[in-house]
Amino acid sequence: MPGETRAAHTQDHFREALAGLVLAIVLSSLDQNIVSTALPHIAQVLGGLPQISWVVTAFLLASTVSMPIYGKLSDMHGRRRLFIVSISIFLVASALCGFAQDMNQLIAFRALQGLGAGGLSTLSQSAIGDLVGPRERGRYQGLFSGAQAVCTVAGPLLGGLFIAVASWRWIFFASLPVGLLALGLIVARLPAATTVRAHRIDYAGMFLLIVSVGAVLLALNGVASARNTFPVSPAVSAAIALVFGALFVGWEKRAQEPIVSVGLFRNDTFAVAVAASGMMVFAMQASMVFLPLYFQMVLGKTPTASGLMLLPQIAGMIVSSTWGGRLSSASGNFKRFFMLGVGLETLGLASLGISAFAGAGSVPFLFALAILGLGTGLGMPNAIVLVQNAVPSAKLGMATGSMSFVRSLGGAVGVAFSGFVMRLMLDGERGNRLFSRWFGHEGGSGAIAGGGVGPHTADALRLAISCSFALGALMMAVAFMTSTRVSTEPVH
């Protein structure tokens, strides 16, 4: 039948467009995880170990700032056009990173790569909101979360593999075929915008956002680092961030085409879901960033074994994001699954903290990580659905970009706070007094810097990392309490 043929043809186009969107998510997530593992080796080869933090900061700054900009511009010009820009920038920058001859070049190219990466996840999540109705969004956002979960484990393993059998440069070159395939599928199958609205680009807002976010990241890196290698102190950076952040908010209230519509935050469901998701990423980053260090230096695992210890978390994320997305779409009550996910994450982080403080073996950590993965797979995709279903379709990109921006910033703050807690617990006389009180001997970073991994070192790390877990659990509990204010009205 002609009608059936057209329907099958349309369904094939949808699947191919969806494959392109998933590949874009994979490209973004895999790049973050695969590079972090290889950075110490790259810094040794290029001779710029003191600049290693700038490789991360440059990428993070560019991607964080560009997220809401991509969201806003895609509402004006359509997702497909902005995808072409985003993936093209990312691929050119990836090739340049692979050819970098020194750390300064790599930092500059990573910043350019971040400008492209900022659009990959934001545009993918916005585009699926265009392609399917409000009721079905949970199912497909869960698919994206599952893909990100796989990349979390695959990234570090692939990074180590490329260094072992080829060269660190292939970490960047490997992105090219994946990106080209994603670009081809999106250009061919993602529908073009039917209308292009008249617009005025908010250049002043972009400038204020770049300065304020840049100052925030400099301040956070300065606080978390034992030695501040940045040109201004954390206090000065924080002051600049406050001033320009206030100017940004004030300007966006008056701008004709704001990058971030302040009016969106008057919508309780949007504001609460965005705030809760930012807290969730803060909690996850604050608690998980030092977990491999704990496995290796306290439990005595090899780097490969410590990576495999994360498999229960990844399996939990894949299962809950896939089946949880189907169940939440079937019921239409996304708040219920969102709160369940945040509750499980709180339980998982608290279990990690208790296990670390008690000096437990591997098995309790595996169970805690499985619970954490189940919660993450439920919480994150349903948070995105709640945000997208709370705004009109004309502002879908702006809303998704704003959420991505808050989550990215929350992650940066979480890493900084975790680093600050580690410094507080391990450095100087304060750390020694704390360890004397808890363990009857001095600890601190001196023990760690002194050589082997002895019992004093293990005690020092165990207490410090358990405090990071406790911080994450506390913030996740606040996110759970915040999530109770989300609208309970089911989507039909």
Q: What is the pLDDT of residues 95-114, one digit of tens each?
A: 999 998 888 889 899 989 98
Higher pLDDT, 44 or 82: 82
Taking residues 78-100, what's their average pLDDT?
A: 91
Q: What is the pLDDT of residue 454?
A: 56
How many residues does the structure list for the chain? 492
- Residue 89, pLDDT above cutoff 90: yes
pLDDT digits (tens, 9 = 90+) for 341-372: 889 999 999 999 898 888 888 899 999 999 98
Q: What is the pLDDT of residue 446?
A: 46
Secondary structure letter of residue 72 according to DSSP: H
Q: Which domains does the chain have, with CATH numbers?
A: 1-191 (1.20.1250.20), 203-256 (no CATH), 262-492 (1.20.1250.20)
Q: What is the pLDDT of residue 367?
A: 92
Question: DSSP string covering 358-423, please?
Answer: HT--HHHHHHHHHHHHHHHHHHHHHHHHHHHHTS-GGGHHHHHHHHHHHHHHHHHHHHHHHHHHHH
| Spatial CB neighbours of 426, under 8 Å, sequence gap ≥ 6 | 443, 444, 445, 448, 460, 461, 464
Q: What is the pLDDT of residue 448?
A: 46
- Burial grade of 408 (CB within 10 A; 0-12, 13-18, 19 or more): buried
Taking residues 254-265, what's their average pLDDT?
A: 78
For the record, the structure tokens of 355 come out as 């296990």
- Residue 44, pLDDT above cutoff 80: no
Residue given tokens 């350019």 in the structure block: 112
Higher pLDDT, 491 or 63: 63
Query: Of 187-191, 275-279, 354-358, 428-432, which range is least confident?
Result: 428-432
- Residue 276, pLDDT above cutoff 70: yes
* Confidence band for 91, pLDDT divided at 50, 70 and 90: very high
Q: What is the pLDDT of residue 176?
A: 92
Taking residues 225-231, what's their average pLDDT?
A: 55
- Cβ(226)–Cβ(427) below 8 Å: yes
- Residue 15, pLDDT above cutoff 50: yes
| Spatial CB neighbours of 93, under 8 Å, sequence gap ≥ 6 | 109, 110, 112, 113, 115, 116
Taking residues 35-59, what's their average pLDDT?
A: 73
Cα dist from 267 to 71, 366, 390, whole Å: 18, 39, 8
* Distance between CA atoms of residues 444 and 431, nearest Å: 5
- Residue 419, pLDDT above cutoff 80: no
- Cβ(453)–Cβ(285) below 8 Å: no
Taking residues 244-251, what's their average pLDDT?
A: 88
pLDDT digits (tens, 9 = 90+) for 154-188: 777 777 778 778 888 888 998 899 999 999 999 88
- Cβ(488)–Cβ(333) below 8 Å: yes
* Confidence band for 252, pLDDT divided at 50, 70 and 90: confident
Cα angle 250, 486, 409; round to 5: 45
* Distance between CA atoms of residues 88 and 227, nearest Å: 36
Q: What is the pLDDT of residue 196?
A: 57
- Residue 441, pLDDT above cutoff 50: no
Taking residues 311-340, what's their average pLDDT?
A: 82
- Cβ(171)–Cβ(155) below 8 Å: no
pLDDT digits (tens, 9 = 90+) for 363-415: 999 999 999 888 888 888 888 888 888 888 777 778 888 888 888 888 777 77
Q: Torsions phi, psi of 361, nearest 5?
A: -80, -160
Q: What is the pLDDT of residue 103?
A: 85
- Burial grade of 227 (CB within 10 A; 0-12, 13-18, 19 or more): exposed
Task: Fill in the amino acid letter for 262.
Answer: V
Higher pLDDT, 488 or 343: 343
Annotate 423-445 with b (16+ C-beta within 10 A) or e (fewer): bebbeeeebbebbeeeeeebbbb
Which span out of 228-237, 284-293, 479-488 was modeled with the highest average pLDDT?
479-488
